[in-house]
Amino acid sequence: MLTLKDIQEDPVFLTLIDNSSAYLRARGYTDHGLRHVSYVSKMTAHLLAELGFDDRTVELGAIAGYLHDIGNLLNRKHHSISGANIVYYELRRLGMDLEEICTIITAIGNHEEEIGKAVSPVASALILADKSDAHRTRASRIDSEERPGIHDRVNLAITDSKLYVDKERKMITLEIAFDQEVCQIMDFFEIYLTRMEMCKEASIVLGCRFRLLINDLEFLGQLTAY
């Protein structure tokens, strides 16, 4: 069975990730390279493991997280669908089981907030992992005399972020430390509100509630159990 290590050692995937990251960097987006996909891979697997899923599901989550942004190589718009198609053919090339490929590409194809949906445990964990990666280390910091774009401003304002599971309370929490001297929290919600709502839905699929804490203030907390 293919593992994350096999995927990471495949030169085709490394080239695809590098070039998709370069495309987004040229367009002024935050980091989507190895740092981002490695975080998303690790966190997707961590969420699934913490919630008691079997080892193979955890491994498939790690692979989906590592490959989820490859579609940005073609275009930012609908990159989840482009990426799912690319990943399908590349995983078939490597001889992966078709059912496992379906699990991975369904998750990849549904992580984009405009068109995605938390339709499975792996897809849900991937959504939460991807949307939680907000931090000043992601800022492109492109040299310019102009004020940084909103994506850079918001990420530069986030000095710390943690995503964690409380298994006893069935709660998934994203906790953010936000420097309001860099920009306003409203700037965060301008680009993250839809993403946070998506995290809320993903948490429900995983049998949990979602909490967003910014500077110890709760936003989007669910008051009823599901």
pLDDT at 141: 56
Domains assigned to the chain: 4-219 (1.10.3210)
Phi, psi (deg, nearest 5) at residue 181: -80, -20
User: Which H, E and C letters describe 55-120, residue by residue?
Assistant: HHHHHHHHHHHHHCCHHHHCCCCCHHHHHHHHHHHHHHHCCCCHHHHHHHHHHHHCCCCCCCCCCC
What tens digit of pLDDT does each residue of 123-178 get?
999 999 999 998 887 776 554 545 567 878 888 899 999 999 999 999 999 999 99
> 210 has which bridge partners?
172
Element spanning 125, H or E: helix 121-131
pLDDT at 223 over 80: no
Higher-confidence residue: 213 or 24?
213
Mean pLDDT of 46-59: 98
58 within 8 A of 45, measured Cβ to Cβ:
yes
- The mean predicted confidence, pLDDT, of the chain is 91
